[in-house]
Structures are given as C-alpha cells and as structure tokens.
C-alpha cells in the first residue's frame, strides 16, 4: 500500500521508512505539513502517518485539510503523538483522525495498526461500491436513498424514504434533519463515514453513506436490518437462557460437565488437605441405544432420569453425580479411606439401580457399567484421572458390561516398560492372527441406505482387555509391525466384502491405510492379487488415508495414490480438517472422497463450525469429491449435515462399529431414517 509519512524529525522519518518498507509498503516521505499536502494531492495514498507537532501545518491541520479536499475519502489517517490525554484524542477525532500511534513508535504496534487500517480501507472501498451500486436506480429501490449536499440540502429522496422524511419533518429542497443530520455533519466536516440506525413504521434501517463527491454531494442509504436485529435479540435471549442452565443438565437437573470440572478441582484440593481419597467413577447405561431405539426417546429419557435419581439417592449429599452427556454420568465419591470402599459403593450402586429400574414404569431393566480411578493413588492429575476412569469403564464394557472395573494401568503403560510389554503381546497377536475387524455402517444421505462400512481393527488382549486402535496402531507403525497388521486387516476386509457381495449386498468397504503400507512397493500388486482371488472390483474398495500422514507432501506418496486411483480404487482423505490440511494438494491428488474429522463435526453446533463444514462441502463439490462426515452422534447434527449437502454419514447415531454377525443383523433391519433440518 502507498503510505505517506509526515515527520519533521529526520531520524524518526528514516526509521519509519525502514520499517514500512520492511513490511512491503511503498513510502512517500515528507518533512513538514505543507510538503505532505502537496504529496497527498499527487500520490493519493491510502494511509497517512503524521506527527502531531510540526512547524506551520501540524498533524491535526494536515488531517483537516486532507479531509476537506473532497477527494474520495478512503484515506486512513494515523496521528503520532507522545501525548495521551482524553481531550487531545477528542480533538483529533473531530478533525477526522482514524487512529493514534504512540511515540516512540514500536514495530509490532505499527504492524497491528496497519493491519487494522488495511481492513478498514477495504471495508470503506467495498461499502462505497455497494452503496453506489444500490443507489443507482433509487426510484425502484425498496430501501430509502437520500442525496444531500454540503449545505445539508436534500437534493433527492426516493419513494421508500418519504415516510422517514415525514418522521423527520423535512422534505426535498429543505435542510435535512433527524438522525441523518448528524451523519451528514460528521461526513462533511471530517470525511468520517459513520452509521446510524433509525426506526420507522416498524422497520429498522441502518444508514450509511458514500464519501463526498467532487461536487460536494453524498448519498445516504438505509439498509433494512429489522430481521437481523430480531434474530440477534432472539439469539441473545437464547444465550441468556442457555447460560442459566449452563451449570445443570436440563433433563436430570444434575450438575453438567462444567460444574463437574469445578467440583473435581475443589474436592481433590480438599482431599489433599484432609488426607483422604476421592474416587472418580464413570458410569454408562448398558445398551442404552437399544432402549432408545426400541422404546422411543421418551422412555430413553425416563431411564436416564431414573438412573440419575437412583445414583443420587444412594450417595451422600457431599458426593457429586453429574450428567456427562448422552447416557454417561460421572460420580465423585469423596472422603474415602481406601480402595476397598470404592468396590463396596460401586457394587451397591449397580445393584440398587438395577432393582430400581426394574420396578419403574418402563419395561426395560437397566444395568450399568462403571469404571473408577482413585485420587491421589492412581493419579493426582484430574485430567489423567478422567482418562484412567474412562479406560476402566472401557474394560468394564469389554468384560460384558453390567459390572464395575477399577483402573489397573494403561495398556500402553505410559512408560517404556509398559510399552515394550504391550508390543510383545501385540506382535504375538498379529503372528497368531488374533486381530479382528469391526465394521461401522456408512449411510448415503441421498438414498438413506447403508452404502458401505468402514473396517476398524480390534484387539482383545488377555491381560489388558480391549486395547484401542488409537494405542496399538501407532505402536505398530512405530515399531515396523504395521505392514503385517495392515495385511491382516485387508484380508479380513476383502473376505468380508466378498461375503456381502455373495449375499447380494451392494456395499463398499473402507479400509484405513498407514503411510508405510502405501509407500511399500509391493502394496499395490499385493492388493490387486487379493482382489483377483476374490473376484472383487476395485471401485468397491475405498482406501482411507489420514491427513496427518502427510503423504501428500511427498512426491512418492502422491505417485502411489495416483497408481491406486488408476487401478480403479477410490481414495478417501480421512480426518480432513484435523489441522494438517493442504488444500491445494487435495485438488491435485487422486482423491474421490473427503472425510471430515469428528472434531469439526462436533463444531457444527456453532455457526462458525457450520460455515467451515459448508466451505468444505463446497470445496468438495468443486473438486468433484464426495464429502463424508464421521462421528455423527445425534439427529440434530445429522439433519444439519444433510442440509449442508454432505453425501455420506457415519457415527454412533446409526451404529457403533459392529462385529461381522452384528453388522449383518443391522443390515437386515433395512432403511435408515434421516431427519430433515428444522
Ligand atoms: P478413523 O479412521 O477416523 O475411524 C473413526 C473412529 O471414530 C473409530 O475409532 C470409530 O469407532 C470412531 N467413531 C465412529 N463413530 C463415532 C461417533 O459417533 N462418535 C465417536 N466419538 N467416535 C466415533 P476407532 O475404531 O477407535 O479407531 C481409531 C482410529 O484408529 C481410526 O480413526 C483409524 O485412524 C485407526 N485405525 C483403526 N483401524 C485401523 C486399521 O486397520 N489400520 C490403520 N492404519 N488404522 C486404523
Ligand atoms: Mg478412517
Ligand atoms: Mg476419521
């Protein structure tokens, strides 16, 4: 950008020049106000940075004179001053100054201010353009358009503005009054274009203006913002209501996650003071989805309320029962002396709640799975404690549910010894073909049918129970076991696909690939061989590669993807939006599908998140890619994603990953119901 600098101090002048040029701007230097005025006429810079104190014409006067020039008033005027008094700033603002810069000038400060200036100039240029365009046919315009000259005379007013003029008690040919008068005065005196809101006949208009034309006239244009303001009011109301409920869950009245976080901090701090222990217990209602699907949401809600009441009534008032979300609850049991008491309390809870629900009006008997971790024995870090309890819950579920398990250590050991042990066990499991695969349905929003399934590796270890793929896949990748492990998965997935196809199920199978597999020279020939043996067609197979593996950044990686695509396989970029995106490369490579990361899907409950997802959908469209959403857990999100134009959906709302037999049963149930956005 062209920047004019007016500064009488030679050192300060050169200093500014050096910085501004360093930022990439074109700089015009002037040693006094008079020279600056001349230079302004000649160069028409977008930004002026002027010292306040200069001989003859000082910074304030320079600003006033520039504003009075009746050129297009985009100029952003920054005044440098060592003074910092309120009356000075008022004076300067009245003269049309946009911003101040404290002396001595700091590089970072200047940088930020210039960024702001650039943005504001851009807005000014755009809004000027827009208003000129909108005001081009004022007679037909449903919004008010009024033209005023430097003497405040109304030169023109369109039909839509007549009611406003009547309200202000003025008409064409007379001086303008009302809110528009103030706007016009500021504009003509300082060149500063402000906005004002005016209500008239039940509508709200936001007035803004063009800059002053060389003939000394300006257009004032009223945008109708009634609906926008109404929506804002409603939103604010909603927000207030939401905040009221923000600490408690509405259904059960229990504390929610936020309040729980506070309690956890308080209780652990208290336990340290008192020398006691706190148990953190994660509770999950077994088979809740079946209850919900089978008996309906109303019964589902009743079950949650009954369980909440059952847990609450069996604990002391000083303990906390919190609704974590969905069918999950978290307990904080305080003032414990030892580990043994946790076992007693938890078994009392599971038994008690089961009895209670069997007596309740719903015909569903409810059992609970629980996992606990003990503070400070297992960990003195609340975050880690949560993970430990969660892991214990995972074990309880894997052990057939309806039970309580305490934390006994992470399978990855969180230390070298644990990791080594885990790796030995994993290697053995791979060698003995004890890695199994689960399948999670993927639903087409167009046909509302299951279109395919994602293969997810599963490992049930004798010592550690079910180990999450988030633990064992990176371990296998790290230690060079991923090729063998990946191969087991591929063989199972292709066998499964062949089986589905034989049963007449028109499904695709998605398989997750690691970078190592993709880059391996034998990978493609091997895959083609396996496909041939089973008489499968490559377009039935979707290979998922996560964004974070960054194969796209490598020429070999891109080439391998291209070879796979040329062989007819479909390639999906997994976990898209998890932070490693390289948008240009997405278009370049041979992808046919883009799978939006679960974390982004969670964000669709915010406007920003919806906008991001929409942008991804649009980008996908323009590149001819199918867009898939993973981690869809509720109907609101599903409806939103469908409305946004996402092609396929996957998530717990439809089904968790299922073993092959359960997957077939799921398929037998038939069509999936998708809800429309409200
Ligand atoms: P991914 O490929 O992004 O798979 C989706 C993950 O999200 C799965 O986790 C799935 O169970 C989970 N998920 C699905 N729907 C929902 C939902 O509605 N809510 C939530 N919270 N989660 C949902 P999983 O099975 O634990 O797998 C984790 C990751 O491990 C996978 O992420 C994938 O990157 C990797 N992985 C799994 N199997 C394999 C494999 O055979 N090979 C390779 N290389 N990686 C694998
Ligand atoms: Mg995946
Ligand atoms: Mg994913």
Residue pLDDT, tens place only, 265-321: 889 988 988 889 999 999 999 988 888 888 888 888 889 999 999 999 999 988 999
What is the position in ligand 1's atom list of the atom closest to the CA of 575? 3
Q: Which of 324, 325, 412, 456 to mutate to test the pocket of ligand 1 (most atoms within 8 A of CB)?
A: 456
The enclosing domain of 66 has a CATH number of 3.40.50.2300
Pair 305, 362 in one domain: yes
Q: Which has the minimum average pLDDT: 69-73, 248-252, 548-552, 624-628?
A: 69-73
- Distance set, CA 617 to CA 69, 513, 549 (Å): 48, 24, 22
Pair 203, 302 in one domain: no
| Token code pair at residue 492 | 């199972």
What is the predicted pLDDT for the residue at 676? 65
Pair 363, 472 in one domain: no
SS3 state at 70: coil
Whether the Cβ atoms of residue 307 and residue 330 lie closer than 8 Å to each other: no
What is the predicted pLDDT for the residue at 240? 61
Measure 600 CA to ligand 3 centroid, in angstroms.
11
Pair 399, 465 in one domain: no
| Residue 385 lies inside a defined structural domain of this protein | yes
Nearest-CA residue for atom 4 of ligand 1: 456
Nearest-CA residue for atom 2 of ligand 1: 512
Give me the sign of the Cα torsion angle 649, 652, 657, 661: negative
Measure 513 CA to ligand 2 centroid, in angstroms.
8
88-107 CB burial, b ≥16 within 10 A, e <16: eeeebbebbbbbbbebebee
Pair 297, 200 in one domain: no
Nearest-CA residue for atom 25 of ligand 1: 456
- Distance set, CA 353 to CA 296, 302, 308, 309 (Å): 21, 13, 9, 9
Separation between Cα atoms, residue 617 and residue 629, nearest integer Å: 10
- Whether residue 583 has pLDDT greater than 60: no
Query: What residues contact 340, with CB distance under 8 A and at least 6 apart?
Result: none
Query: What residues contact 498, with CB distance under 8 A and at least 6 apart?
Result: 534, 535, 536
Q: Please state the rounded mean pLDDT for residues 416-421.
A: 71
Provide the number of structural domains found in the chain. Answer: 4
- Whether residue 70 has pLDDT greater than 90: no
Whether the Cβ atoms of residue 364 and residue 305 lie closer than 8 Å to each other: no
Measure 548 CA to ligand 3 centroid, in angstroms.
11
Pair 168, 113 in one domain: no
Pair 397, 424 in one domain: no
The enclosing domain of 189 has a CATH number of 3.30.450.20
Residue-wise pLDDT for 614-667, tens only, equals: 878 887 887 788 999 999 988 889 999 999 999 999 999 999 999 999 999 999
More confident residue, 126 or 411: 126
Which ligand has the shortest distance to the CA of 596? 3
Measure 411 CA to ligand 1 centroid, in angstroms.
18
CA-closest candidate to residue 182, choices 196, 168, 172, 170: 196
| Residue 478 lies inside a defined structural domain of this protein | yes
Q: Which of 523, 630, 637, 650 to mutate to test the pocket of ligand 1 (most atoms within 8 A of CB)?
A: 630
As a 3-state breakdown, the chain gives helix, strand, coil percent values, each rounded to 5, of 50, 20, 30
Nearest-CA residue for atom 8 of ligand 1: 456
The enclosing domain of 366 has a CATH number of 3.30.70.270
Measure 634 CA to ligand 3 centroid, in angstroms.
17
Pair 361, 492 in one domain: no
Cite the beta strand spans of 425-540 per DSSP E.
436-444, 450-461, 465-467, 508-513
CA-closest candidate to residue 496, choices 439, 442, 420: 439
Determine phi and psi for 494, rounding to 5 degrees: -70, -35
User: Tokens 């609970």 map to which residue?
Assistant: 368
Question: Which residues form the domain of 303?
Answer: 247-406
| Residue 504 lies inside a defined structural domain of this protein | yes
Residues with CB under 6 A from ligand 1: 440, 456-457, 468-470, 473, 486, 489, 512-514, 544, 546, 574-575, 598, 630-633, 650-652, 657
Measure 455 CA to ligand 2 centroid, in angstroms.
8
Measure 430 CA to ligand 3 centroid, in angstroms.
23
Percent pLDDT > 70 in the chain is 91
| Residue 678 lies inside a defined structural domain of this protein | no
Separation between Cα atoms, residue 312 and residue 323, nearest integer Å: 11
């Amino acid at each position: 950008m062209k920047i004019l600098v007016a500064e009488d101090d030679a050192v300060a002048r050169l200093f500014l020049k050096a910085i501004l040029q360093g930022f990439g701007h074109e700089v015009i230097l002037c040693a006094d106000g008079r020279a600056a005025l001349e230079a302004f006429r000649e160069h028409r810079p977008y930004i002026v940075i002027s010292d306040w104190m200069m001989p003859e014409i000082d910074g304030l006067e320079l600003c006033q004179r520039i504003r009075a020039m009746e050129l297009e008033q985009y100029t952003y005027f920054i005044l440098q001053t060592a003074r910092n008094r309120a009356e000075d700033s008022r004076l300067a603002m009245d003269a049309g100054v946009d911003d101040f810069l404290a002396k001595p000038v700091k590089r970072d400060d200047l940088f930020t201010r210039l960024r702001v200036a650039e943005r504001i100039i851009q807005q000014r240029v755009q809004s000027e353009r827009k208003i000129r365009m909108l005001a081009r046919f004022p007679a037909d315009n449903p919004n008010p358009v009024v033209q005023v000259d430097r003497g405040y005379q109304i030169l023109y007013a369109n039909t839509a503005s007549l009611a406003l003029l009547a309200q202000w008690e003025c008409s064409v040919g007379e001086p303008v009054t009302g809110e528009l008068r103030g706007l016009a005065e500021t504009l003509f005196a300082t060149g500063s274009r402000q906005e004002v809101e005016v209500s008239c006949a039940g509508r709200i208009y936001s007035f803004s203006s063009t800059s002053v034309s060389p003939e000394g006239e300006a257009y004032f244009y009223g945008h109708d913002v009634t609906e926008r303001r109404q929506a804002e009011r409603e939103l604010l109301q909603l927000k207030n209501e939401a905040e009221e409920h923000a600490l408690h869950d509405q259904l059960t009245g229990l504390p929610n996650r936020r309040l729980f976080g506070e309690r956890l901090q308080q209780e652990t701090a208290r336990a340290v003071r008192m020398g006691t222990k706190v148990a953190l217990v994660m509770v999950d209602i077994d088979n809740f989805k079946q209850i919900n699907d089978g008996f309906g949401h109303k019964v589902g809600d009743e079950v949650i309320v009954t369980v909440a009441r059952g847990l609450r009534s069996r604990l002391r008032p000083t303990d906390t029962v919190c609704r974590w979300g969905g069918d999950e609850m978290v307990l904080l049991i305080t003032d414990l002396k030892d580990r043994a008491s946790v076992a007693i309390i938890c078994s009392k809870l599971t038994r008690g709640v089961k009895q209670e629900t069997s007596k309740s009006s719903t015909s569903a008997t409810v059992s609970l799975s629980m996992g606990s971790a003990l503070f400070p024995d297992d960990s003195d870090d609340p975050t880690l404690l949560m993970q430990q309890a969660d892991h214990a819950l995972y074990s309880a579920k894997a052990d057939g549910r309806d039970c309580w398990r305490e934390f006994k250590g992470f399978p990855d050991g969180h230390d070298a010894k644990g990791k080594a042990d885990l790796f030995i066990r994993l290697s053995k499991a791979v060698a003995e073909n004890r890695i199994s695969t689960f399948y999670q349905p993927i639903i087409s929003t167009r046909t509302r049918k299951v279109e395919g399934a994602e293969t997810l590796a599963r490992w049930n270890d004798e010592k550690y129970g079910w180990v999450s793929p988030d633990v064992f896949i990176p371990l296998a990748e790290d230690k060079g076991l991923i090729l063998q492990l990946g191969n087991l998965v591929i063989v199972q997935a292709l066998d499964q696909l062949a089986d589905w196809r034989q049963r007449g199920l028109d499904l695709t199978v998605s398989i997750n690939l690691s970078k190592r597999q993709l880059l391996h020279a034998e990978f493609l020939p091997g895959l083609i061989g396996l496909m041939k043996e089973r008489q499968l067609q490559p377009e039935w197979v979707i290979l998922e590669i996560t964004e974070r593996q960054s194969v796209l950044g490598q020429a070999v990686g891109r080439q391998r993807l291209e070879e796979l695509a040329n062989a007819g396989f479909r390639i999906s970029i997994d976990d898209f939006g998890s932070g490693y995106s390289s948008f240009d490369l997405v278009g370049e490579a041979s992808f046919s599908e883009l799978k939006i990361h679960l974390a982004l899907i969670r964000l669709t409950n915010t406007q920003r998140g919806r906008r991001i997802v929409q942008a991804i959908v649009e980008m996908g469209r323009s590149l001819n890619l199918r867009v898939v959403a993973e981690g869809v857990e509720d109907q609101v999100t599903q409806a939103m994603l469908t409305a946004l134009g996402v092609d396929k959906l996957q998530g717990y709302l439809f089904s968790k990953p299922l073993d092959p037999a359960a997957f077939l049963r799921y398929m037998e149930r038939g069509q999936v119901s998708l809800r429309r956005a409200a």
